Amino acid sequence: MSAKIIKCTTTDGRAIEFVDEVIGSGAMKDVYFSPDKSYVVCFFSREKNKFYESKAALEQQKDRLKEIVGNKWNGIFNGAGGAYWKNIFCWPDGLVEYNNLLGITAPAYKQQFFFEYGSKNNDFLKIQGKEKEGKWFASANNQNRFLDEREKGTWLNYLKICIQISRAVRRMHAAGLAHSDLSYKNVLIDPVTGSACVIDVDGLVVPGKYPPDVVGTPDFIAPEVVMTSHLSKEDPSRSLPSIATDKHALAVLIYMYLLYRHPLRGGKIHDMDDPQKDENLSMGGQSLFVEHPADPSNRVRAEQLKASQLPWADPSQIPYSVSGPYLTELFNKSFIDGLHDPAKRPSANDWETALVKTVDLIQPCQNAACSHKWYVFDNTTKPRCPFCHTPFSGKLPVLNLYSARQGGSFRPDNHRLMVWPGQSLYAWHANNMIAPNERLAPEQTRRKGYFVLHDERWWLVNEGLPDLTDAAAKTAIPIGSKIELSDGAQILLSKEDGGRLAVVQMVQA
């Protein structure tokens, strides 16, 4: 007998329906599908939520949710890039009261966020058809032991996933909101398409107005929150989830998605006799980056690792520097300078910028069997893939980008574009005033040029750059024609404000 369909209305009068059958139960809510499965209705269960115990707490929870599904929803989805955010957030859009329970409505997750293939050995974990919770992808052990190869994606796609998560966090923080429980449990990812979706947004904290429901998920809780968790919530010395603690969680998440290990879980033991005290110290007041260049006391001990964790869990085999110069600098700021000084932590915008620049540094691995397919090209040493150790061979143009300044001079932008066959040139490469984010006009998202290797010669084909000029010869390169890339060539990409000059450097390996 099929479950009955229940009809009710949201507090703002929208008619909704749900099938009276729980499809999932979390730490706070029970979830029901709409009949067409296009949205879900989630009720806060009475047993799991203390706010039902007092009228004042219930009213405060109602107010907070009204703000999230009302003003905050409108600000984000009816503002700049609203359509873009619908793919990146699973944001609740209605408040429901039914059967003396408080609930919310939210869009259902997109199909790519469910496992198409089960785990290894006849899906012994029974994950086929389940949500792609980030934890399955954030550890070497899970990657190596459990995941079907067809679910793993490429390293380039993990960079794209991290860009989307950084953007989502940047947008929440710009709206004055903290996620408060940013972790691999509350982000769905799909490495096959390079997509991410931030979920469980109903716990958002409005600092100073609505306090957090939770302190976070172990592994992602900032040290100052762990250190003061024994104090009461009213104690002014207690650190609660905030934008500053989100920044720590975001850094941990990016480190784990790119390197499949935790930045603070090393070999150091703080208390031999009390495992809980040891955990509190290693994640709290005495936490220490496992790859700290000056203090090796928390190094990962290779002899304690399982074969299924290698090589990723051993930083001596795959150091964090494989992420390239921009991300290495931010990992240092997060896990050395800002670990115990929240004011020094990089913002979500810093991460987004560094990740975008890192994508411009990557190169396809020349080994077709490489598990990761892409790597950051390191021109300071003999370039090779750090994942399968295949050396790069051939001739490679690197475009060093310079921006126009007042007086007609050009200054370096600390931004380079690695070239590979089929690599694209976009509006944001041609002009440093254009940022590749949700605000781009459709015209700005189109490719403006691409690179080809023909008979051992590299060319840039102009598809949409009206100002493209060979700066040394002072000759225009009209749309539809091409310019050869040779060592020292200077190519003006745009004459507009913020227009860039690309200086070509040829790497021979």
Fold of 112-360: Transferase(Phosphotransferase); domain 1 (1.10.510)
Tens of pLDDT, residues 257-307: 999 999 999 999 999 999 999 999 999 999 999 999 999 999 999 999 999
Element (H, E) at 506: strand 500-508
Q: How far is CA 259 from CA 140, 169, 183, 360, 404, in A?
A: 8, 20, 16, 19, 37
Structure confidence at residue 424 (pLDDT): 98
Structure confidence at residue 1 (pLDDT): 62
Residue in the structure block whose two tokens are 């290779």: 302
What CATH architecture does domain 5-108 belong to?
2-Layer Sandwich (3.30)
| Residue of 452, 407, 459, 401 whose CA lies nearest to 430 | 401
In the chain, CATH 2.60.200.20 covers 394-508
Q: Is the dihedral of CA 99, 102, 105, 106 positive or negative?
A: negative
pTM above 0.75, yes or no: yes
CB-based contact 256:138 (threshold 8 Å): yes
In the chain, CATH 1.10.510.10 covers 112-360
Tens of pLDDT, residues 108-129: 999 999 999 999 989 989 999 9
3-state helix, strand, coil in the chain (%, to 5): 30, 20, 45
In the chain, CATH 3.30.200 covers 5-108
Structure confidence at residue 89 (pLDDT): 97
Structure confidence at residue 208 (pLDDT): 78
d(CA 328, CA 50): 42
Mean pLDDT of 307-330: 96
State the average pLDDT for the chain. 95
Tens of pLDDT, residues 470-493: 999 999 999 999 999 999 999 999
Tens of pLDDT, residues 133-188: 999 999 999 999 999 999 999 999 999 999 999 999 999 999 999 999 999 999 99
Question: Counting Cβ atoms within 10 Å, is residue 462 exposed (0-12), middle (13-18) or buried (19+)?
Answer: buried
d(CA 312, CA 386): 11
Q: Options 2.60.200.20, 3.55.40.20, 2.60.40.10, 1.10.1060.10; which CATH number does 394-508 get?
A: 2.60.200.20
Q: What is the largest CA-CA distance in the chain?
A: 79
Lowest mean pLDDT segment, chosen from 21-25, 26-30, 404-408? 404-408
| Residue of 392, 366, 390 whose CA lies nearest to 377 | 392
Other residues' Cβ atoms within 10 Å of the Cβ of residue 8: 15
